[in-house]
Amino acid sequence: MSEKKVTIFFVTNDAGQTRKLVLSSSKLKAIGLLLAFLVLAASAASMDYLGLLLQTTENKKLKSENAQLIKQFQVIEGKVSALESSLDRVKTFTTKLKLITNVESEDRSLKLAMGVTPPANQPVDDLNQPMDQRSGVAELEKTDTEFYEKKPVNEKRGEIAVEGGKDYATLSIRIDNSIKESQLREQSVLDLWESLSERQSLLNATPNIRPAKGWFTSRFGYRVSPFTGRPALHAGLDIAASPGAPVYAPADAVVTFAGYDEGYGKMITLDHGYGVTTRFGHNAQIYVQVGQKVSRWDVIASVGNTGRSTGPHLHYEVRVNGVPRDPALYILDE
């Protein structure tokens, strides 16, 4: 039995241009299968291409969302870091307030006795001169015409000067800890406020500001004395400032000394009560007198270079019952 054949005619518009193609049934089937395979392959390729397009679009969208989330994460992390820093400052401020106002203990002198305490027979570089050798106000007025010159304006009182790498889990833990810490700090500050409201006079008489605008050049503690070359306790805090810069009273007090000392130069001593006194050395001018009452932010002197001094600066001391303490513990406005 002969194999069936299929004849396909190709006819054009031109006369006599008819062509025919004779295919056996087996070849026709093979061509049909090939065409079906090609159609399927083309369909599969189109589907894959479409899937790739959709995936590319989705990837771009995810990248955009991821970049936005990263920015939001960085903003949140920055806010958390700022919150943590703020809580640290509040904690330090609260601790200082408790120390200098004796909120947690009735022995105020003990709480104020923070920092280095000189052992027995240890030399102290405190520039002291015996009281009977210090020049008084009357003698200074005769020799120093600028002793009671007009004090500079007090800007604090409103006087006007006339010119002349972290992940989400870690961030979540930090946020939780900050929330808990903020709640504890809030309660601590409320308790402190209630206690301080009952001790207003004590707080007013407690030194708590930087007495001069400037930078610290020598802190409280042991150092090699620039005059003797031997280790000694620097009993105060040196604040470098421009000559003539105002020196402020750090709290309400009574002036107990205003005169000249061989070591401190033109010196002022304030008595704040409760066994706390402050000293201000190397002044250029003094604007107060013994027995005068002063308030916090009153201008009492101007920065100078008198006495045993290596340059213009204020030597500031805080003493509790006569014992020098670290003045940095009494500076809250920084």
Report the number of distinct structural domains present in the chain.
Answer: 2
User: 63, 96, 112: which is the final residue of a domain?
Assistant: 63
Backbone angles phi, psi at 3, to 5 degrees: -70, 140
Q: CATH no. for residue 237? A: 2.70.70.10
Q: Which of 135 and 112 is assigned the larger pLDDT?
A: 135
Report which of 167, 185, 140, 77 is spatially closest to residue 283, judged by C-alpha positions. 140
Mean residue pLDDT of the chain comes to: 77
Report which of 207, 184, 191, 200 is spatially closest to residue 91, judged by C-alpha positions. 184
Which pLDDT value is given to residue 266? 94
Could you tell me the residue range of the domain that residue 30 belongs to? Answer: 5-63
**What global pTM score does this model have?**
0.51
Answer whether residue 297 is part of any domain.
yes
Query: Are 248 and 149 part of one and the same domain?
Result: yes
Mean pLDDT value of segment 296-312: 91
Query: pLDDT category, 148, cuts 50, 70, 90?
Result: low
Query: Are 22 and 138 part of one and the same domain?
Result: no
Pair 234, 328: CB distance under 8 Å: no
User: pLDDT tens digit string along 182-199?
Assistant: 777 777 777 777 766 666
Which pLDDT value is given to residue 102? 60
User: pLDDT tens digit string along 222-274?
Assistant: 776 666 667 777 888 999 999 999 999 999 999 999 999 888 999 999 999 88
Answer whether residue 150 is part of any domain.
yes
